[in-house]
Amino acid sequence: VTLAERARSVTESQSPTVLDTLSVAYAAAGRSDDAVRAATEALARARAIGADALAATIRARLDALTTKR
């Protein structure tokens, strides 16, 4: 989580891939609310830059996160 948070900071929360990684790290650490927030932001960033395949992957992960709640 610490490394993923550092990567988010370095990229100024602009990289959907970094935000997605952060979401996975949060989920693995049992921080589901943080995971959903990071995944939601990652999805928005991916869509904003037209990364449709990445957005679909993030959407699937986000759906899995919200289903587990």
How many CA within 13 A on the CB side of residue 51? 16
Split at pLDDT 50, 70, 90, the class of 68 is: confident
Tokens encoding 40: 């939601």
8 Å CB contact between 61 and 50: no
pLDDT by residue (tens digit) across 15-57?
999 999 999 999 999 999 999 999 999 999 999 999 999 999 9
Whole-number Å distance between alpha carbons of 63 and 13? 21
Q: Is the pLDDT of residue 69 over 80?
A: no
